[in-house]
Amino acid sequence: MLSSEFNKNIQKVLVSYKKNAGEAYETANLIPGLLKKYGVESVVRPSMDITRADTDGVGLVIVCGGDGTLLITFGMIFPLEVPIIGLNFGKLGFLVDIPDYSKEEVINAFFDGSLDFTSRMALDIYINRKGETISKFVALNEATIAREKSIRARVIDLTVYVDEMWLNDFRADGLIVSTPTGSTAYSLSAGGPIVQPDIESFILTPICPHTLTNRPVILNPCELRIKIAPQERDIFMSADGREGVALMDFDEIIIKKHPSKVYLAASFSLNYWDILRSKLKW
């Protein structure tokens, strides 16, 4: 999808950067000057300090940092549905792969309508307690249910339903529900498969399962219901690695495909397979 689909009547751009990262900060503060010729207002903020007022009227987000900065920014701007350009600092990222030195080129390409964007699916996550939703999240990479890291390792029991049909009772250190975009993140570290990011699916990856036959499962997008069994209350649910929510006995986590897409700027010179080979050192 070309930026000509997005660049009409844009009046405000949010520029997000990794906090306490000198080069990212410097680039973020250069970008408003590059946008002036397009008559566009800019707001520059550290990713963790974005407020709802910062997102009002925004038609484009530019992220200066790495994959983590983009994920934080995504969580802060939700439910804003706008294209995202990621300028990379340091190591090549799966989500942020346009080099800093191409900042002017990529901005010009966006406004002349030639910048390509890829669409990614996201997760809608609800935590229900006693029949009421107590928390709601959106995730681009994954939802993780696990014990707090400071607690000594013990398996947890999770019952999983797919569209109200019982799938399995998992005994494991935790469970990751990932998008294809997140298949190369935490899920991969836990032994999950790599899934091409434009395939819409859920990936269920148990973390250190107690039973070796509990293997990763790839599902069509569905309504996934995960029920917490009675046990000690030191279990948390986190989205994209953000601060978790403590879960209690019989809590249910409902995960669905988010109705909106996430649009990420594509690299100028590298395709997904180039990035995959580079990251995995194939």
pLDDT tens per residue, range 202-258: 999 999 999 888 999 999 999 999 999 886 668 999 999 988 899 999 999 999 999
Instruction: Please identify which residue in the block is written with the tokens 């009002």.
Output: 56
CB half-sphere exposure, 279, CA atoms < 13 A: 19
Instruction: Please identify which residue in the block is written with the tokens 């495909």.
Output: 257
- 116 counts as catalytic: no
Given 54, 67, 97, 251, the catalytic residue: 67
pLDDT class of 21 with cuts at 50, 70, 90: confident
pTM, two decimals, is 0.92
Domain spans of the chain?
3-121+261-280, 123-257
User: What is the amino acid identity at position 198?
Assistant: D
pLDDT digits over 45-83, tens only?
A: 999 999 999 999 999 999 999 999 999 999 999 888 999
CB-based contact 188:67 (threshold 8 Å):
no
Going by their DSSP bridges, the two strands 262-265 and 12-17 should be labelled as unpaired
User: What is the amino acid identity at position 174?
Assistant: G
Q: Classify domain 123-257 at the CATH class level.
A: mainly beta
The CATH number of 3-121+261-280 is which of 3.30.420.40, 3.40.50.720, 3.40.50.10330, 3.20.20.370? Answer: 3.40.50.10330
CB-based contact 79:34 (threshold 8 Å):
no
User: What is the amino acid identity at position 1?
Assistant: M
Rounded Cα distance, 234 and 156, in Å: 10
pLDDT digits over 158-192, tens only?
A: 999 999 999 999 999 999 999 999 999 999 999 99
Neighbouring residues of 281: CB distance < 8 A, sequence distance ≥ 6: none
Backbone phi, psi, residue 132, to 5°: -120, 145
CA neighbor of 15 nearest in space, from 67, 49, 73, 62: 62
Rounded Cα distance, 38 and 86, in Å: 19
Q: Which residues pair with 237 in a beta bridge?
A: 145, 245
Nearest-Å Rg of the Cα atoms of the chain is: 20
Neighbouring residues of 258: CB distance < 8 A, sequence distance ≥ 6: 121, 122, 123, 124, 138
State both tokens at 212.
């070796």
C-alpha distances in angstroms, 182 versus 27, 94, 124, 189, 235?
A: 27, 10, 14, 11, 22
